[in-house]
A = this chain, B = another copy of it.
Amino acid sequence: MNAPATPVQLLPEIVPREVPSALLDALKARFGERCSTALVVREQHGRDESAYTHVPPPAAVVFAESTADVAAAVALASAHSVPVIPFGVGSSLEGHLLAIQGGISIDVSRMNKVLAVNPEDLTVTVQPGVTRKQLNEEIKSTGLFFPIDPGADASIGGMSATRASGTNAVRYGTMRENVMALEVVTASGEVIRTGTRAKKSSAGYDLTRLMVGSEGTLGVLTEITLRIYPLPEAISAAICSFPSIEAAVRSTIQIIQMGIPIARVELIDAHTVRMVNAHSKLGLREEPMLLMEFHGSPTGVKEQAEAVQEIASEHGGKAFEWAVTPEERTRLWTARHNAYFAAIQSKPGCRAISTDTCVPISRLADCLLDSVTEAEASGLPYFLVGHVGDGNFHFGYLLDPNKPEEYAVAEALNHALVHRALALGGTCTGEHGVGIHKMDFLRTEAGEGAIDMMRTIKRALDPKNIMNPGKIFAL
């Protein structure tokens, strides 16, 4: 392999700061075996699901088991002006976890307790290392569930830090709407609390929402209080095939504009259906498809489904197939959640670069169709899935990691797509976050004035620039 496997030209300058041995000694003294400098451990914590692979790993990994552990690690790092990077399960997509300025990784995966379930208030308080599937497993007996479902079984800490969402956001919102309160370790190693379990509040600056989406750059989340929801009395799922992506998208737009409270509406293009069929041994029609879910009372679900079926039919939707039993539904949704892996398997040895634009729903067809045309013309294999009810969709360009020219094509496609989305009033990232990959896009989207405001807040709250530095924007 001659060419570097990573498009390093896209990385901000990598300038690892010195990690003095005094800090490593202090961490070893405080954490014993829970502070590791083994290369394999460091390497595991120095990468994520992004395409970047050639960044040196952090100098050490601290396995925190409590808020006090996190506070101690941050305080020690602060004393030496050394960066800290929180680590949950490592599923972030935009380079969030990369130690581009060196430093130590604080692994919170052992902080995985559900601390309180308040079924009567529809809230739950968890440690940041709890994963979304674990949470749903642990609250299953209450008849409640937590709806936010990014593709990966991500940690709640990571999901909060990136303002994640997923397929249920069209009805239940994103982490922005569903994080109620936080415990945060600040850049100086202090512990603060934001928000309460009250459903509304006008009590001062909304620090909770400032932290949600701040990608570890303002503090480390050590406790998260979330909204949870009663499992719907009735659920039904359906797939419907369409003659074109446009027909599927136009149906979606109409569903949303009519205010139908659909719980999920996912687009899968014909390519991807083919990959999913191969991977999950399904026999789905290899045409653009909407995968939908309806939550409510039995009659409510029936009403929604009838209204949607009528809209879909008007746009040429056919082969409406219903899945009412939990098993049938699981089969369909597993297929959707496995689309990424199905795609990866379709081109052995490939990596995927995933886009994440989100536009106002009225512009969805314009944004999506032009980008499909461009992707087709590029010759690069891709998959296409989308939370189209929110105007959010993902192309996954499938690359040979040994062919830098393929990276270049994928980046060019992404670049064109993002600029199209921004011109249509959209955003460069609906749910993945900025990390290092989208810093340029964010600057275009938000403008220098807003970036300056973010920078000013960052400098004020983290004067030594030790909290996951070099992410979201350049200081």
Taken together, the copies of this chain in the complex come to 2
Which residues, 331 to 364 on A, are CB-close (under 8 Å) to B? 356, 358-362
Q: Say if the beta carbon of A199 comes within 8 Å of chain B.
A: yes
Measured CB to CB, the nearest residue on chain B to A232 is B259
Measured CB to CB, the nearest residue on chain B to A361 is B121
Which residues, 165 to 200 on A, are CB-close (under 8 Å) to B? 165, 169, 173-174, 176-177, 186, 190-194, 196-200
Interfacial chain B residues near A213, Cβ < 8 Å: 202, 204-206
Q: Is the CB of A430 within 8 A of B192?
A: no
Interfacial chain B residues near A378, Cβ < 8 Å: none
Listed from nearest, the 3 A-B pairs whose CB atoms lie closest are A460-B460, A192-B449, A230-B259
Q: How many whole Å from A234's CB to the nearest CB in chain B?
A: 12
Q: Is the CB of A201 within 8 A of B427?
A: yes
Task: Of the listed stretches A14-22, A315-323, A401-409, A431-439, name the one at the interface; the rest are far from the partner chain.
Answer: A431-439
Task: Of the listed stretches A43-51, A100-108, A262-270, A451-459, name the one at the interface; the rest are far from the partner chain.
Answer: A451-459
Q: Is the CB of A427 within 8 A of B174?
A: no
* A358-B199 CB under 8 A given contacts A177-B177, A299-B303, A446-B193: yes
Q: Is the CB of B196 within 8 A of A427?
A: yes
Interfacial chain B residues near A177, Cβ < 8 Å: 173, 177
* CB < 8 Å neighbour of A453 from B162, B425, B461: B461
Q: Say if the beta carbon of A123 comes within 8 Å of chain B.
A: yes
Q: Say if the beta carbon of A472 comes within 8 Å of chain B.
A: yes
* CB < 8 Å neighbour of A229 from B165, B253, B259, B421: B259
Q: How many whole Å from A155's CB to the nearest CB in chain B?
A: 16
Q: Is the CB of A428 within 8 A of B203?
A: yes
What would 4 more interface pairs be, CB under 8 Å, given A121-B362, A173-B177, A204-B451? A169-B200, A196-B425, A202-B427, A206-B209
Q: Is the CB of A163 within 8 A of B202?
A: yes
* A430-B200 CB under 8 A given contacts A194-B450, A205-B210, A210-B210: yes
* A203-B259 CB under 8 A given contacts A121-B362, A360-B118, A362-B120: no
Binding site for B on A (CB under 8 A): 118-123, 162-165, 169, 173-174, 176-177, 186, 190-194, 196-207, 209-210, 212-214, 218, 229-230, 232, 253, 256-259, 296-297, 299-300, 303, 356, 358-362, 390-392, 421, 425-434, 438, 442, 445-447, 449-454, 456-457, 459-461, 472-473
15 examples of A-B residue contacts, CB within 8 angstroms:
A118-B362, A121-B361, A123-B360, A173-B177, A177-B177, A191-B449, A196-B445, A201-B358, A202-B213, A205-B472, A209-B209, A230-B259, A232-B259, A299-B303, A457-B460
Q: Is the CB of A390 within 8 A of B199?
A: yes
Q: Is the CB of A442 within 8 A of B203?
A: yes
Interfacial chain B residues near A457, Cβ < 8 Å: 205, 210, 457, 460-461
Q: Is the CB of B431 within 8 A of A202?
A: yes
* CB < 8 Å neighbour of A210 from B206, B230, B300, B431: B206
Q: How far is the CA of A300 from the CA of B356 in the complex (A)?
A: 35
Q: How many whole Å from A165's CB to the nearest CB in chain B?
A: 6
* A230-B258 CB under 8 A given contacts A192-B447, A426-B198: yes
Interfacial chain B residues near A432, Cβ < 8 Å: 202
Q: How many whole Å from A230's CB to the nearest CB in chain B?
A: 4
Q: How far is the CA of A196 from the CA of B360 in the complex (A)?
A: 9
Interfacial chain B residues near A297, Cβ < 8 Å: 300, 303
Interfacial chain B residues near A303, Cβ < 8 Å: 297, 299-300
Q: How far is the CA of A120 from the CA of B259 in the complex (A)?
A: 11
Q: How far is the CA of A118 from the CA of B218 in the complex (A)?
A: 35
Interfacial chain B residues near A450, Cβ < 8 Å: 192-194, 204, 207
